[in-house]
Structure 1
Amino acid sequence: MPLPSVSQVTEDILLRLGGVTSWDQLREAVRDAVGITLQNTEDLVVYLSDIATGTLVSQDGLAGVVHTLPKSGLAGKCAEEQHLIVAKALDIEDPLCGLLPSASPTLPENRTVACIPVLGSDNARLVGIIAVVCDAVSSNQEKRLSLVGRHIAVCVQRLHQMATQQRLPPASTTTPTACSGSPDGGTCMGSSYDNGILQLCAELHDNDPASMQTKVVKYLERHTQSECCALWIVSSEDATEVFCQVLGNRVLEEEIRILIPLSCFNTVVTEERSITLDDISENSRTELEQKMDMKIKSLLCVPVINQARSKVVAVACCINKIGAPRFGQADEDVVRHCFRYTVPVLTSVMSLQKERQLKQETQSMLQVAKNLFTHLDDVRILLREIMMEARNLTQAERCSLFLVENDELVAKVFDGHVLDEMGEVRIPITQGIAGHVATTGKILNIKDAYSHPLFYRGVDNSTGFRTRNILCFPIKDRSSECAEGGQPGCPSVLHKDPSQLKDCWCVGDGKRCSERHAVVGIAELCNKVNGLYFTKHDEEVAAVFSIYCGISIVHSLLYKKMKDAQYRSKLANELMMYHMKGTEEDIKPLLSKESVPKPESFHPQMASFTYSPRGIPDEETIRATLSMFYDMGFVYRYRIRHSTLVNFCTLVRRGYRDPPYHNWYHAFSVGHFCFLLYKNLNQLDMLKDIEVFALFVACICHDLDHRGTNNSFQVHSQSVLAALYSSEGSVMERHHFAQAMCILNTEGCNIFENLSTEDYQTVLDLMQDIILATDLAHHLRIIKELKQMAEDGYKVEDPHCHKLLLCLLMTSCDLSDQTKNWQTTKRIAELIYKEFFTQGDLEKAMGMETPEMYDREKACIPELQINFLNHIALPVYQILSKVIPQSGLLVKAVDANKTMWLRLKRESSLRKLSSANSIDFFQIPFRSENGAAEFGKGLSEETEEELAEGEAEPGRGSKAGAVEDISERNNNNNPGRDTTTKSS
């Protein structure tokens, strides 16, 4: 059998305290309450306030002799400070040592002595102290002790009142003594009448208010000789109505509710006095007879007052006196005497019922939220669920739901039925009750619909339905705030597009866009089923319910927009892929395997590091790519169908745009360099075959759909790509990988289709990591790890080394143009800066800050290239040469190009060329490394020697006299040439 929960135990304790009618019962109840709340209690002493002297007295310990609370020791300190005190041990002089035998000065480590104060309702007067030996007191136990203490204080106060009114023995005596008296004059505990009260109080231990009311009603019927009695409970929400749950011996299936101001109960509640049938009007009598379904011959209504709160909490009604024409004063005294002792228990149980109701409503609300959030995929079904849940929560007969669209209220669902678009009901947003709530954003509770000026009776007249009362509440998008200035609408979650801002109305006295939440819908409930009208509690439930409605509706509409966007994206992607596919004339010549030649057929030096693949004509690049796939063994090793490979390569080729540098030729060159690494460096067996395969595919896909702008531009310009990927970083690189996945997912293009599930996942993960590694920001983050790997040596068995090597190889492929001959390197630099300066122009036009290297008016190309080679390119190839020694020639090639940039920088400085910061710089003739006028003419041999000496002696620059001497010699050798003005 499961143990009772903490809440159940607490309820039992409080109910037992509520039924206490004597000091002995109270002491026993206190012992049980403390024993249940704390753990392993041994000795316990209870001090309670004595009515005669006001001192705290106890009969515990000292052989049952009554004694007062000691003024010294732990108990005295507790009385002085009036808060819980817990001690690890008692001083040997402490008076409690004699009262608590187990509280020795040396208690076990886990044992304590606790002194618990019991304060009166004003939290200032001490009415009791409990001393107990127990285990250590936890914070939760301390909270429960505080709750128990408050109820003990109520019991002490009640017993004091009973002792005053009924001469109940004081706290210092053990049992009540009998005395004589009559019900009329106030009886004491010894009479048979008071014994009946005691018996009733002892029976009021139920947790069910209806059961307790039944027992009280039966008691009243028996002692007042009534045909029927009823207890009308005053609503705790606004005290404007009373309701009855028990009528005679019947528990009503549906509560009877009566408005206080319009009924016979108004005098009883407001003036706190009893009335009889003679005091009410004939209309009130007729209404009461109809409500109670019985003929009333005589009536007695007595107010039930809660003394603690000094307010009427119920009205006790006795109907039809048996054996007499009317009720008398004695009957009224019986009723008052009954509730003098039972009202604390009744109010406690009613409060408990309310707490249970709140708990149940909370659980119901969570279930409602679950139901709503499982229907986000279809807004119409969601609206139907909202209507059904709204009816159930508020016990309404009907519900209508409107959404706000284009300054109209649109009903897509009515009375639980989904309407098609042709059957939608549309009304202006300013019309009627729903329009008033939509424009003000305030809940409207109408108790009498026909008397309200905004109510339109035409619908009732045409349908035959009678609307009695209405509860109309707004559904708001609480995630959106209105724009400053307020016109023309509010940028809610639903309406990011300014052109759609007119679709939202905002809360603020009917005006658009005050700084509040947007109203997205209106719910209108009609006719309270089990009441006269919708209560304040129904308004609170509706307000909480509307929060979940708002969240679910907003997210459902967002979900629909997202699905529509996905469909449009899918359609656009299909259209893009269709147009990216090569024509039959382009593909047909490639479909034969025999049409794929050996790599050497394109150039004898095809597999040499000195060869630049940019010399291959564009129409032959796809065939060359196929040739590399075959030569590296990927086709046979991974069972790639030739037609699939052709489709894949064609789609990749067409997936590149045509910016100056980041185009298909760049991807082809990067892929070719990967081919060179495979062919020339035997140490590539340091990688697995699947890793080399992923590296090559990533190389040709790594810049798919590049727009000629970098990540920073995408973020600062708030582009669509930035919205998709900026939270993760590496915006363009993630887009490149996404485009590669689109191509692989296109029918007939998946070159990985025959891989095992494990290899398939592996190659995709590798491709993603490798493509992301092309972001130089990523490279700079791992540069220390790369250097450390080069120093420590490559470990084949370490997966992290594999990952670092793949990133290093990808970066070396990406920068491979810097390893080619000077002509190629210079041409590539021209393309790069053409692309950079185009981005810079865009940034200037958009008012963005332009970095120097993207600004055609500030960038010094030779200096930028030298910095790039020093800080990026050379370290990459130096690390690679340490890991793979055969790649050392690449370092020499980069270094040779660096030397040429140094020469150009120095010469442009000597010649005072202002165009070194312009793309026109590449059109200026310079002398090549071998002294021939390869780039132009006009530079003498003496100048060449001077430049060489300047390079050999860094301290010797191109400034001051050196520049003037060289310029003068050049002028003498070339009469008529103006070196000071020539810039291109």
Structure 2
Amino acid sequence: MVLDEHQIEAWLDDHPDFTFDYFLRKATQSMINTWLADRVIRIAADERKISDAFTTGDDRPPSSASEASAGRKTPIRKISHEDINPNYLPLKPMVSTNEQGSLSFYAPENQSPPTPRRNNNLGRKLKARRISHWHNPPQIKNGTDVEVEEGDGNSTAVIDERDMIMELVMDIAMDLDVTSVSHRILQNVSILLEADRCSLFLVREKAGEKFLVSRLFDVNKESTLEDNVVKQNEIRIKFGQGIAGLVALTGNTLNIPDAYKDKRFNQNVDQKTGYKTKCILCMPIKDQGKRIVGVAQVINKNQGVFTLKDEKIFASYLGFCGIAIHNAQIFEKIQLENRRNEILLDLARCLFEEQSSLSIVMETILTHSTSLLSCERASVLLADPAHPENLFKKTFEHVSDQVALESKLENLQNGNSNKRKVPFNIAITSFVQQTGQIVNVRDAEKETKFQFVEDEELGFTTRSLLCIPIRDSLRQVLGVIQLVNKMPKAGPYFTQSDVQILEAFAIFCGLGISNTRMYEETARLAAKQQVILEVLSYHAVAPPTESLQLTQSEIPSAKSFDLLSYGFDDSLLSDYDTMRATVRMFIDMNIPEKFHINIGTLSRWVASVKRNYRPVRYHNWRHAFNVCQSAFCMIKIGGLLNVFNDYEQLALLISCLSHDLDHRGTNNAFQAKIEHPLARLYSTSTMEHHHYNQCLMLLQSDGCEILSHLSSTEYARVIKLVQHAIISTDLAVYFKNRTAFFNIVKSGARDWANNEIQRDVLRGMVMTATDVSAITKPWLIELKVAEQVAEEFFEQGDIEKNKLMQEPIDMMNRKLKHKLPNMQVGFIDSICLPLYEALSKTSKGLKPMLDGCLDNRRHWKEMSQKNEAGTSM
């Protein structure tokens, strides 16, 4: 016989016990979740209808079974940023594990614990009305429910035992607060089993020992959540102790019809409370993993004793309650962990926001510590790594607001306002600092290892103490943080949770202290550097008397100095005359008038530039002066006056005079070989960058500000041109850019007036041409300069050979001095000739430089041939 689904459904309706048992045995998790989700949606819709009716004054009873569960909401603890915002000190303390092992939020001293919202009376009335129908059922015919009129006859209710249990399950399904869901469970059980009192115990574990803690005690159907949430009501029961403990241990149900005849019942509770216990039904609560998470106990049925039917109903309901409690516990742990993380992160932010002063950071650490862990006093003692025998270099202390007020009044009365308020307990703090171990003294009176000798001196009593090492990122102990006396309202002593929280906080403290110390050290070094720079600047800048002499003297003309000749010979001038000649070049280019430069300022800057050249063989003041004269000559008679604008002309003269400032007589490669700090500062064009920075320093020194009358835009423009020009004197930069220059000249598409890119390239080539312009001067001058260059190179080679134990390159090897003519020919052919040939094509006025270069090449070639002939003979 094949049954269709309608027949099967009809049979299941006629056999509800089988249907219920089958569902318990066969239902999968996904089926239950789907059913619950659908149920929640329908109930939520019905709740909104009830709420609307309630708020509009409509006192009609609910029209469906689902409406009976409406009314109560889950109280949720809200985490506010104000909890740890320093603008709202004292901070609200955080989270702890109490003596019963329960996780809880500390209550601030001046604020009571968060009060859960009251149960909605409408929901409780609706539920009571529905359950009353179940306990006093309407007429039932053939096991089929009938509709019964309620109230004013505007609604009907279908009452069924299983439906009622599921309604109560839905009442707790969406509640994720452990206390709230526990109260809902007990209130529902009180109504469901018509019990006078109900209690709920949750399983806790501490130090490997399991015990029960009464989450809520003596709940009835009329009680509210805030009436039962009282910390003093918590009862701790060991597994196997009493009726509840025995149920937790065995997992078996206990139904005791007469409590006083059962030896396991403790009559002392009744004697203390005055309550008469008659019958008890106690049953374990299990989660989905069949683990016991709690014990529920109902006392005194309103009529008679608890029956087997009550046990069955109780078991059916608690089967769902275990899952609800387990989920709520998980949610509570997540909330607490989020709360912990948020506070620690905000504490870290507070620490790292202000790191300019160690005292400010320490005040932040101590203020947050006392409030975070609800203690009276706190101190931080910092170690001295350089002198470990001194133990602590600096000490900081802090007291809570309440204690500070009491101490202030006491000190005013005793006339001792400078009295220290926090004991340092050197025996404990030094032990923690040296060993890195944590010391947690729960009861100072019973402590035998350490003595609190400072109590009498400071006039107070140590009750509890927690001392933890503060470490840096390398796990080295920087010092210790010590908390003294837990606030009475927060507990008698510091718990393991306090230790964990303070350990996490100490990590941020260590980083904050390390960063602050580093910042202070950096600030000291910066201040020291500033002083050194001031001293160097004083010695680097020429004295006013030197520049005054230069200003007051008559500056001869450029013609008398022979400045407009490519064959200029500086050896005919004294050092003083070279400075006067330099000022003359600026005057003849009308620079002081165009840029409003005071002659006195210009003279002092020129004297200071000369002062900052070292007395090396070649790259000295005389070389810089000659380079500047070559540029002057190229601009004035070489045809570049109409190519470069006023700013470029100013920048070129400044750059030529400054391009080798503070030269050490060694090249870039040598700085890298000896790992000089300059090589670490500048990976390319090492010395050129240093010359530019020295130039910038002098331009900004007191009395040398020749660019002070420029606007900020003009100043930036000139400085950029100077930087480009000085860096261009690096031959590596020359080789990089010369192809572009040669292509511009060769193509004939040059547009110096309008194309700034082409003009940048040209300025770079001009700087190189002036830098090596000695190769274009008359032979005797060129020969003398070449010998100076060679001697400077040989001196560097000697250092490399004798100190670095390295064989120098040929041009710096003194043993190969005889090859100088041949090397000069190679230098001219590879660098000089191509450059001067291109420049002569740019302007006919530059051709004398090419002619001088070719003439000197002829001389060097002849010397090279003579040397080769002499060697062959």
| TM-score, normalized by the shorter chain, greater than 0.5 | yes
Cα shift at 1:224: 7.7
Aligned to 2:470, what secondary structure does the other structure show? strand
- 1:520 maps to 478
Change (3 A) 1:552 1:311: same
Moved more, 791-800 or 522-531: 522-531
Aligned to 1:595, what secondary structure does the other structure show? coil
Change (3 A) 1:23 1:781: closer
- 2:199 maps to 229
Q: Would you say the 8 A contact 1:273–1:302 is kept in 2?
A: no
Measure the CA separation in 2 of the matches of 1:880 and 1:217: 101
> May I ask how many residue pairs the two structures share in their alignment?
688
- 1:376 maps to 355
Q: Would you say the 8 A contact 1:657–1:707 is kept in 2?
A: yes
Change (3 A) 1:426 1:273: same
Q: Would you say the 8 A contact 2:769–2:836 is kept in 1?
A: yes
User: Of 840, 851, 855, which residue of structure 2 is paired with 1:892?
Assistant: 851
Change (3 A) 1:525 1:755: same
Measure the CA separation in 2 of the matches of 1:395 and 1:476: 25
Cα shift at 1:383: 2.3
Do structure 1's residue 658 and structure 2's residue 618 form an aligned pair? no
* Percent identity of equivalent pairs: 24
Q: Would you say the 8 A contact 2:602–2:706 is kept in 1?
A: yes
User: Of 471, 478, 482, which residue of structure 2 is paired with 1:475?
Assistant: 471
Cα shift at 1:321: 6.3
Change (3 A) 1:426 1:214: closer
Compute the TM-score of the two structures, normalised by the length of structure 2: 0.67
Change (3 A) 1:765 1:33: farther
Instruction: Show the 5 A alignment for 1:82-161.
Output: none
Describe the superposition over 1:237-266 as per-residue Cα deviations: whole angstroms up to 9, x where unpaired.
988888777666227598999999899799
- 1:777 maps to 732
Aligned to 2:736, what secondary structure does the other structure show? helix
Measure the CA separation in 2 of the matches of 1:314 and 1:225: 19
- 1:348 maps to 327
Do structure 1's residue 789 and structure 2's residue 744 form an aligned pair? yes
Do structure 1's residue 410 and structure 2's residue 379 form an aligned pair? no
Change (3 A) 1:33 1:323: closer
Q: Would you say the 8 A contact 2:547–2:600 is kept in 1?
A: no
Measure the CA separation in 2 of the matches of 1:415 and 1:528: 14
Measure the CA separation in 2 of the matches of 1:819 and 1:876: 12
- 2:343 maps to 364
Cα shift at 1:740: 2.1
Change (3 A) 1:378 1:572: same
- 1:806 maps to 763
Measure the CA separation in 2 of the matches of 1:23 and 1:735: 74
- 2:517 maps to 557
Q: Would you say the 8 A contact 1:653–1:664 is kept in 2?
A: yes
Amino acid at match of 1:758: T
- 1:624 maps to 581
Q: Would you say the 8 A contact 1:606–1:613 is kept in 2?
A: no
Q: Would you say the 8 A contact 1:473–1:542 is kept in 2?
A: no
- 2:130 maps to none
Q: Would you say the 8 A contact 1:444–1:473 is kept in 2?
A: no
- 2:550 maps to 590
Do structure 1's residue 387 and structure 2's residue 366 form an aligned pair? yes
Describe the superposition over 1:209-243 as per-residue Cα deviations: whole angstroms up to 9, x where unpaired.
44323322433555584657355463799888887
RCO comparison, higher one (Cα < 8 Å, 6+) = 2
Q: Would you say the 8 A contact 2:248–2:295 is kept in 1?
A: no
Measure the CA separation in 1 of the matches of 2:776 and 2:208: 86
Amino acid at match of 1:794: R
- 1:674 maps to 631
Amino acid at match of 2:722: M
Change (3 A) 1:305 1:211: closer
Amino acid at match of 1:375: E
Cα shift at 1:192: 4.4
Describe the superposition over 1:297-316 as per-residue Cα deviations: whole angstroms up to 9, x where unpaired.
87999786554445444465
User: Of 190, 195, 203, which residue of structure 1 is paired with 2:164?
Assistant: 195
Measure the CA separation in 2 of the matches of 1:679 and 1:836: 33
- 2:640 maps to 683
Q: Would you say the 8 A contact 1:232–1:243 is kept in 2?
A: yes
- 2:104 maps to none
Instruction: Show the 5 A alignment for 1:395-794.
Output: 398-405=377-384, 406=386, 407=388, 408-415=391-398, 432=427, 434-435=429-430, 437-439=432-434, 455-460=450-455, 462-463=457-458, 464-468=460-464, 470=466, 472-478=468-474, 517-525=475-483, 530=490, 541-542=501-502, 544-592=504-552, 595-601=554-560, 603=561, 605-723=562-680, 725-726=681-682, 729-792=684-747, 793-794=749-750
Do structure 1's residue 856 and structure 2's residue 814 form an aligned pair? yes
Structure 2 gap ranges (5+): 1-26, 42-142, 147-157, 220-224, 401-418
Measure the CA separation in 2 of the matches of 1:426 and 1:666: 71
Moved more, 879-888 or 230-239: 230-239
Aligned to 2:614, what secondary structure does the other structure show? coil
Amino acid at match of 2:568: Y
Change (3 A) 1:813 1:523: farther
Describe the superposition over 1:162-221 as per-residue Cα deviations: whole angstroms up to 9, x where unpaired.
xxxxxxxxxxxxxx9999xxxxxxxxx986487246324334423444432332243355
Structure 1 gap ranges (5+): 1-19, 35-175, 180-188, 479-516, 913-962, 965-984
**Structure with a larger share of its residues in helix:** 2
Change (3 A) 1:270 1:193: closer
Moved more, 196-205 or 296-305: 296-305
Change (3 A) 1:205 1:813: same
Change (3 A) 1:254 1:684: farther
Change (3 A) 1:840 1:795: same
Measure the CA separation in 2 of the matches of 1:532 and 1:831: 87
Cα shift at 1:426: 13
Instruction: Show the 5 A alignment for 1:171-320.
Output: 192=161, 195-196=164-165, 198-220=167-189, 223=193, 225=195, 229-232=199-202, 234=204, 249-250=225-226, 271=249, 306-314=286-294
Compute the TM-score of the two structures, normalised by the length of structure 1: 0.60
Q: Would you say the 8 A contact 1:878–1:891 is kept in 2?
A: yes
Q: Would you say the 8 A contact 1:268–1:301 is kept in 2?
A: no
Aligned to 1:470, what secondary structure does the other structure show? strand
Measure the CA separation in 2 of the matches of 1:295 and 1:905: 126
User: Of 835, 838, 841, which residue of structure 2 is paired with 1:876?
Assistant: 835
Measure the CA separation in 2 of the matches of 1:304 and 1:813: 99
Amino acid at match of 1:709: T
Instruction: Show the 5 A alignment for 1:8-19.
Output: none
Cα shift at 1:871: 2.7
Amino acid at match of 2:358: V
Instruction: Show the 5 A alignment for 1:35-54.
Output: none
Aligned to 1:682, what secondary structure does the other structure show? coil
Moved more, 634-643 or 790-799: 790-799
Measure the CA separation in 1 of the matches of 2:515 and 2:430: 23
Describe the superposition over 1:115-137 as per-residue Cα deviations: whole angstroms up to 9, x where unpaired.
xxxxxxxxxxxxxxxxxxxxxxx
Change (3 A) 1:231 1:608: farther
Cα shift at 1:690: 0.9
Aligned to 2:840, what secondary structure does the other structure show? helix
Q: Would you say the 8 A contact 2:547–2:603 is kept in 1?
A: yes
- 1:938 maps to none
Q: Would you say the 8 A contact 1:243–1:256 is kept in 2?
A: no
Q: Would you say the 8 A contact 1:403–1:410 is kept in 2?
A: yes
Measure the CA separation in 2 of the matches of 1:632 and 1:253: 94
Cα shift at 1:717: 2.7
Measure the CA separation in 1 of the matches of 2:236 and 2:820: 89
Cα shift at 1:521: 4.1
Q: Would you say the 8 A contact 1:702–1:771 is kept in 2?
A: yes
